[in-house]
C-alpha cells in the first residue's frame, strides 16, 4: 500500500492550479464566521442581532432542511490549507469557529452539535420524509475530523468524542425500533468518518459506530456482482465506497478492498464516460451505452467529480496502478477547473453539454448548493495528488504534473514546474528556451543537502501519443519506455534536474451510442467550441489549427487555443476550463464536405 504524503511537506507553486487555489482561499477568508455559524446558533438558541439580509441564504437559509452543511466543508477546506501553508489567518478563524461550536454543543446538552433539530432523526425513525439530515451532520463531523487531523485543533476532537455518544445512543435505539433508519437520510459518508476517527484515536466508540454503519444494501449488491448504480443517485453512493476504502485502510481486510474495486468497475470501467470524465445526468448515474440521450444542461454534477477523484486516490494508493492517476488528471482539468469560475471562484453545480451551453455559476452567499461545498474543498487537495510515497521500494511517485514543491525527507526537496522562463509572472520566450511553448514541458529539480538514494517514478500519461523526451542534467535519456505507466530513475540524488516533454496531440472523442458526435481534446484537456449551436465539423481529424498570441502575458496553461479551418463556419476552440460566460459546444456532428 502506498503512503499518502504528509501534506505539511507539500505546497503549490505559481501556476494555473495555484491561481485557482488562491481564489478559493480568498473566498474562505471572505465569509464571515457569524454567518457560517448562523444555523448552529439558531439550533442552540444563541441570540444574534442581525437582519436576515446579512445572513447566508439558499441551502444555508434557516428554512432549508440542509442548513448548516456548508460549515463542515469550510472547516475541511481551511484545515487542508492550514496544514499545507501554515496559514495563520485561516487558523485563527477556524479556531474561533470551533470555540463557538463547542459553545453550541454545551448549550444543546453536551452531545448534539447539529445545525438542524434532533427531531429530524426522529423522522427517520418513523420513515417520514426529511431531506438528508445524516448528510448534513456528516459534513459537520467530517469538518471537525479534518480540523483535528490537519489543523491540530484538540477541541474539535473533544466535540467529536461527545457527539459520538449521541450517535451511539441513537443507533442502539434504532437497532430495536427501526434498523433501516440508520441507513436513511443520505448516510453514506458516516462510515468513512467513524472509521477515520478510530484510525486517528483508537477510541472504541468510533469503532462501534463504524460497525453499525457498515452494512448498507449497496455492499450486498456489489458483492453479488449486480449494478446498484444505474439510474440511482450518484453522490449518495460514492461515499459508501469511500467508507469501504477507509475500512480497508484501517483493518487490512481484503473484503473491503473487493467492495471498492467492485464499485469502481460498476461506476467507471463498466460504464462509458463523457469526454470530460463525467458519467451522470441530473445527479443520477447514466445507464451503460446511453450517454448520448442524456446530453443536456444538467450533466456532470460537481460533487460526483470531486468524490470520484477521492475514490481514485484511495485506489491508486492501494494498487499503484497508474490508470487511477490518469483518471484523476482528466477530472482535474475538466471538472475541478472547468466547474470553478476563474474570476470569482464560484461553482457550477452541473456542467452543461448540450450545444450552445452556458455555465450557471453560484453566488457567494445566496446558493450554497452541495457542489458549493465540494468546490471549496476540491481546490485544497492538489498538493496531495502530486506526490506519493512507496516506502517499501524507497520510491517517490510523481502523480500529477502541477507546479508544486515537496519535502521528500529532511534532506531532499523536489520541485516541479512548467519548463519555461518567467519574468514578473509573465512567460518569456527567447532564443535560449528552445522554442518551448507548451504546458507539457516539465522541469523537475531534486535538491539534496546530502546525497540520497531513491527511485523517482515519473507517470507517463495515457494520452501521450509517442515516447516522451527526457533529459537528465542536460543529457537525453535514450529509449524511454513506460513500464506499468511509469518511467523510473533510480540513483543517488544530489542537485539534479530532469526535463520532460510529453507529446500531446489533438484527438477526437465520440459517444459510444452516438458515434456521429465528436469532441476535441488536447492531451487530457477538453476543448470547447465557442459557438451557440452544433454547426457540424467536416473532417474532424484535420479541422483545427493551433493559434496563440505571442505576448509576455501568454502563460503556458492559457495556450491550447485553436481555430477551425475549411469549415462552413469557422470559430475558436479554447480549454473548457477557460470558458466562463461564453456560450460553448462540446460535441459536434461529423459531416462530409459537399
Q: Are 300 and 276 in contact (CB under 8 A)?
A: yes
Q: d(Cα 576, Cα 335) in Å, to the nearest integer?
A: 9
CB-based contacts of 204: which residues, under 8 Å, 6+ apart?
A: 198
Q: Which residues pair with 132 in a beta bridge?
A: none
Cα 135 from Cα 116, distance rounded (Å): 11
Span 17-27, average pLDDT: 97
The Cα 124–Cα 145 span in angstroms is 25
Which tens digit of pLDDT belongs to each residue from 242-272? 999 999 999 999 999 999 999 999 999 999 9
- Per-residue confidence (pLDDT) for residue 424, from 0 to 100: 38
Apex 553 CA angle, 552 and 554, nearest 5: 95
Q: Which of 517, 547, 511 is nearest to 534 (CA)?
A: 517
pLDDT at residue 559 in the model: 73
- Give pLDDT tens digits for 117-145: 999 999 999 999 999 999 999 999 999 99
**pLDDT tens, 424-448?**
343 333 333 444 457 789 999 999 9
Q: Is 418 helix (H, G, I), strand (E, B) or coil?
A: strand
First CA to last CA distance, the chain: 57
Closest CA to 38 of 59, 23, 20, 22: 59
The domain limits of the chain are 31-215, 234-380, 388-501, 506-591
Rounded to an integer, the average pLDDT of 156-179 is 97
Residues in the chain, how many?
Answer: 594
* Residue with the larger pLDDT of the pair 419 and 413: 413
Sign of CA dihedral 327, 329, 333, 339: positive
Task: Answer positive or negative: Cα dihedral of 241, 246, 247, 252.
Answer: positive
- Give the largest Cα separation in the chain, rounded: 77
Strands 395-398 and 441-459: parallel
CA distance 395 to 393: 5
* Torsion-angle region of 424 (φ positive above 0: left; ψ -120 to 50: alpha; else: beta): left
Separation between Cα atoms, residue 66 and residue 367, nearest integer Å: 12
What integer pLDDT is reported at residue 51 of this predicted model? 79
pLDDT at 14 over 60: yes
The pLDDT tens digits for 363-373 are 999 999 999 99
Query: Which residue in this structure is represented by grid cell 456532470?
Result: 300
How far apart, in whole angstroms, are the C-alpha atoms of residue 374 and residue 376? Answer: 6
Give pLDDT, residue 211: 98
Share of the chain above pLDDT 90, in %: 88
Higher confidence at residue 57 or residue 546?
57
CA angle 103, 105, 106 (to 5 degrees): 65
Query: Which of these, 576, 520, 519, lies nearest to 546 by C-alpha position?
Result: 520
> How does DSSP assign 214-251, residue by residue?
S--HHHHHHHTT----TTSBHHHHHHHHHHHHHHHHHH
Rounded to 10 deg, the angle between the 133-149 and 88-107 helix axes is: 130
Is residue 584's pLDDT more than 70? yes
264 touches 309 (CB < 8 A):
no
Other CB atoms within a 10 A radius of the CB of residue 272 amount to 16
pLDDT of residue 477 exceeding 50? yes
Of residues 548 and 157, more confidence is placed in 157
Pick the CATH number of 234-380 from 2.40.110.10, 3.30.450.270, 1.50.10.20, 3.30.70.360: 1.50.10.20
Q: What mean pLDDT do residues 13-22 have?
A: 95
Percent of the chain with pLDDT over 70: 95
Identify the pLDDT of residue 465: 86
Distance of CA 107 to the CA centre of its chain: 35
Helix (H/G/I), strand (E/B), else coil: 328: helix
Our measurement of the distance from residue 338's CA atom to the centroid of its chain's CA atoms, rounded to an integer in Å, reads 12
Strand segments (E) across 262-372: 280-281, 284-285
Mean pLDDT of the chain: 94
pLDDT of residue 546: 87
pLDDT of residue 422: 41
Find the mean pLDDT for residues 166-182. 97
Instruction: Please check whether residue 341 is in contact with residue 367, taking contact to mean a CB–CB distance below 8 angstroms.
Output: no
pLDDT of residue 52: 80
Cβ–Cβ < 8 Å for 114, 136:
yes
**Higher pLDDT pick, 193 / 1:** 193
Q: Contact at 8 Å (CB) between 191 and 215? A: no
Q: What is the pLDDT of residue 548?
A: 72
Q: What digits encode the pLDDT tens for the residues 555-569?
A: 666 678 899 998 988
Element (H, E) at 26: helix 16-30
Lowest model confidence (mean pLDDT) among 153-157, 361-365, 554-558? 554-558
**Which H/E stretch holds residue 156?**
helix 154-177
C-alpha cell belonging to residue 78: 481551511
Per-residue pLDDT tens for 49-80?
Answer: 777 888 999 999 999 999 999 999 999 999 99
| Measured distance CA(24)–CA(379) in Å, rounded | 7
Contact between residue 74 and residue 149 where contact means Cβ atoms under 8 Å apart: no
What are the distances in angstroms from CA 416 to CA 70, 402, 432?
A: 33, 7, 20
Span 187-198, mean pLDDT?
98
Per-residue pLDDT at 6: 95
The confidence band for 589, taking pLDDT boundaries of 50, 70 and 90, is very high
- pLDDT exceeds cutoff 80 at 3: yes
* Interior/surface letters 2-36, b for 16+ CB within 10 angstroms, e for the rest: bebbebebbbbeebbbbbbbebbbebbeebeeebb
**Which string of DSSP letters, residue by residue, matches 84-114?**
HH--HHHHHHHHHHHHHHHHHHHHTTSS---
Is 553's pLDDT higher than 80?
Answer: no
Please state, in angstroms and rounded to a whole number, the distance separating the CA atoms of residues 384 and 445. 18
* Grid cell for residue 542: 484535420
Q: Between the CA of residue 413 and those of 14, 221, 398, 406, 490, what are the distances in Å?
A: 17, 46, 13, 6, 16
Note the CATH architecture for domain 388-501.
Sandwich (2.60)
| DSSP 8-state code for residue 61 | S
- pLDDT digit string (tens) for 292-307? 999 999 999 999 999 9
508 beta partners:
520
**What's the 3-state SS for 161-210?**
HHHHHHHHHHHHHHHHHCHHHHHCCCCCCHHHHHHHHHHHHCCHHHHHHH
| pLDDT at residue 437, rounded to an integer | 58
> Which comes out higher in pLDDT, residue 338 or 425?
338
Q: How far is Cα 136 from Cα 121, in angstroms, rounded to an integer?
A: 11
Amino acid at each position: 500500500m502506498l503512503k499518502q504524503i504528509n501534506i505539511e511537506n507539500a505546497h503549490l507553486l505559481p501556476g494555473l492550479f495555484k491561481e485557482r487555489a488562491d481564489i478559493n482561499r480568498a473566498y474562505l477568508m471572505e465569509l464571515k464566521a457569524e454567518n457560517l455559524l448562523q444555523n448552529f446558533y439558531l439550533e442552540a438558541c444563541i441570540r444574534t442581532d442581525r437582519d436576515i439580509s446579512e445572513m447566508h441564504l439558499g441551502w444555508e437559509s434557516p428554512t432549508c432542511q440542509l442548513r448548516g452543511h456548508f460549515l463542515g466543508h469550510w472547516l475541511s477546506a481551511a484545515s487542508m490549507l492550514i496544514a499545507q501553508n501554515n496559514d495563520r489567518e485561516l487558523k485563527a478563524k477556524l479556531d474561533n469557529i470551533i470555540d463557538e461550536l463547542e459553545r453550541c454543543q454545551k448549550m444543546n446538552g453536551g452531545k448534539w452539535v447539529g445545525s438542524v433539530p434532533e427531531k429530524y432523526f426522529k423522522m427517520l425513525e418513523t420513515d417520514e420524509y426529511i431531506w438528508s439530515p445524516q448528510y448534513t451532520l456528516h459534513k459537520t463531523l467530517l469538518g471537525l475530523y479534518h480540523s483535528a487531523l490537519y489543523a491540530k485543533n484538540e477541541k474539535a476532537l473533544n466535540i467529536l468524542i461527545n457527539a459520538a455518544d449521541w450517535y451511539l445512543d441513537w443507533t442502539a435505539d434504532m437497532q430495536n425500533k427501526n434498523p433501516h433508519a440508520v441507513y436513511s437520510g443520505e448516510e453514506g459518508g458516516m462510515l468513512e468518518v467513524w472509521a477515520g476517527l478510530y484510525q486517528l484515536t483508537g477510541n472504541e466508540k468510533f469503532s462501534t459506530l463504524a460497525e453499525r454503519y457498515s452494512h448498507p444494501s449497496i455492499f450486498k449488491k456489489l458483492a453479488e456482482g449486480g449494478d446498484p448504480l444505474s439510474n440511482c443517485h450518484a453522490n449518495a453512493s460514492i461515499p459508501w465506497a469511500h467508507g469501504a476504502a477507509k475500512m480497508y485502510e484501517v483493518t487490512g481486510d481484503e473484503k473491503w478492498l473487493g467492495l471498492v474495486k467492485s464499485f469502481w468497475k460498476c461506476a467507471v470501467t463498466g460504464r462509458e464516460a463523457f469526454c470530460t470524465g463525467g458519467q451522470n445526468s441530473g445527479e443520477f448515474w447514466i445507464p451503460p451505452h446511453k450517454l448520448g440521450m442524456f446530453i443536456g444542461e444538467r450533466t456532470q454534477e460537481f460533487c460526483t467529480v470531486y468524490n470520484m477523484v477521492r475514490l481514485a486516490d484511495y485506489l491508486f494508493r492501494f494498487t499503484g496502478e497508474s490508470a487511477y492517476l490518469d483518471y484523476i488528471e482528466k477530472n482535474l482539468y475538466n471538472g475541478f477547473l472547468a466547474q470553478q469560475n476563474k474570476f470569482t471562484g464560484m461553482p457550477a453545480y452541473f456542467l452543461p453539454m448540450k450545444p450552445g451551453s452556458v455555465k450557471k455559476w453560484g453566488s457567494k452567499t445566496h446558493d450554497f448548493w452541495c457542489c458549493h461545498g465540494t468546490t471549496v474543498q476540491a481546490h485544497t487537495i492538489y498538493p496531495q495528488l502530486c506526490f506519493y510515497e512507496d516506502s517499501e521500494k524507497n520510491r517517490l511517485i510523481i502523480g500529477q504534473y502541477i507546479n508544486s514543491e515537496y519535502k521528500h525527507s529532511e534532506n531532499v526537496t523536489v520541485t516541479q514546474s512548467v519548463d519555461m522562463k518567467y519574468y514578473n509572472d509573465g512567460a518569456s520566450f527567447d532564443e535560449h528556451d528552445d522554442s518551448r511553448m507548451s504546458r507539457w514541458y516539465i522541469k523537475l529539480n531534486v535538491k539534496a543537502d546530502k546525497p540520497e538514494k531513491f527511485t523517482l517514478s515519473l507517470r507517463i500519461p495515457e494520452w501521450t501519443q509517442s515516447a516522451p523526451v527526457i533529459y537528465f542534467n542536460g543529457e537525453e535519456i535514450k529509449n524511454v519506455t513506460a513500464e506499468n505507466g511509469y518511467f523510473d530513475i533510480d540513483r543517488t540524488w544530489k542537485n539534479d534536474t530532469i526535463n520532460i516533454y510529453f507529446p500531446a496531440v489533438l484527438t477526437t472523442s465520440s459517444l459510444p451510442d452516438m458515434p456521429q458526435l465528436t469532441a476535441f481534446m488536447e492531451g487530457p484537456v477538453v476543448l470547447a467550441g465557442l459557438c451557440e449551436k452544433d454547426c457540424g465539423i467536416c473532417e474532424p481529424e484535420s479541422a483545427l489549427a493551433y493559434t496563440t498570441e505571442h505576448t509576455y502575458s501568454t502563460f503556458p496553461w492559457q495556450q491550447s487555443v485553436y481555430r477551425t479551418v475549411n469549415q462552413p463556419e469557422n470559430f475558436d476552440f479554447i480549454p473548457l476550463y477557460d470558458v466562463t460566460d461564453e456560450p460553448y459546444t462540446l460535441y459536434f456532428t461529423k459531416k462530409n464536405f459537399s
